[in-house]
Amino acid sequence: MMTNVMTKSTARQRILGYLSQHNGASALEISRALKVTAANIRHHLSILVADGRAQVLGSRQEQDRGRPVQVFGIGEAAQGDNLEALAGVLLVQLFENASPEERDTLLQKLANRLAPRLPGEANLHITRRLAQIIARLNRSSYAARWEAHAIAPRIIFDHCPYAALIADHPEICLMDRCILEQALGGRVEQTARLEKNARGTTFCQFELR
């Protein structure tokens, strides 16, 4: 017997579980397998496709009649990758024989490639420079923001895109500091690294000196 709904927390997990075993399935096939209406499955599939966990693989004719139907598979966001391991190996290779001075030079070069200074940036007011670097960092998934403070502005990362690597490669934090210093034209000090805030989530904090 088919039901009209599944709870959100389990519905998409079940759909993804089915797609992982049956690549190229239609909404009708999934609905029959999970005993849920096709309309309900299509609703959840649209959300899964939008956030990248599922993808449309193409279309096919079913039962030699009617319009072609879309078929779905697991999306890139749900498949995972080995980029964390690769990045770790590359960082070891890059820094293992480098002196502290050579390491700092390499980090500054990486920072400049990740967030190069824009023409005329140094002539902007500090608030404009802060807004520009925050926008660029957020395009790289930092969830960054800045706050005014009595002594100096504070830059806060509510998400660190390199958090999985920080334990073995804390030098990445130095790269973040270099990015901020190059963009803001002054010395920056890190005052918090993946610490818990009042909401129980982690954050990193830098202060312009």
- Domain borders along the chain are 8-79, 99-208
**pLDDT exceeds cutoff 60 at 186:** yes
Indicate if the pLDDT at residue 143 is higher than 80: yes
Q: Residue 155 corresponds to which tokens in the numbers above?
A: 């830059």
d(CA 127, CA 177): 18
Between strands 144-147 and 154-157, the pairing is antiparallel
For the ranges 119-123, 125-129, 191-195, the lowest mean pLDDT is seen at: 119-123
Q: What is the architecture, at CATH level 2, of domain 99-208? A: 2-Layer Sandwich (3.30)
Q: Among 36-45, 141-150, 192-201, which is the least confidently predicted range?
A: 192-201
Q: Is the pLDDT reported for residue 1 higher than 50?
A: no
May I ask the CATH class of domain 8-79?
mainly alpha
Looking up tokens 């954050």 gives: 203
Q: Give the bridge partners for 189, in sequence order.
A: 207
Residue 94, token pair as written in the block: 């890059």
What strands lie across the sheet with 154-157, from one edge to the other? 144-147, 154-157, 202-208, 188-196
pLDDT at 109 over 70: yes
Asked if the model's pLDDT at residue 201 lies above 80, the reply is yes
Statement: residue 26 has pLDDT above 90 = yes
Q: How far, in Å, CA of 192 to CA of 177, rounded?
A: 12
What pLDDT sits at residue 112? 87
pLDDT confidence of residue 189:
95
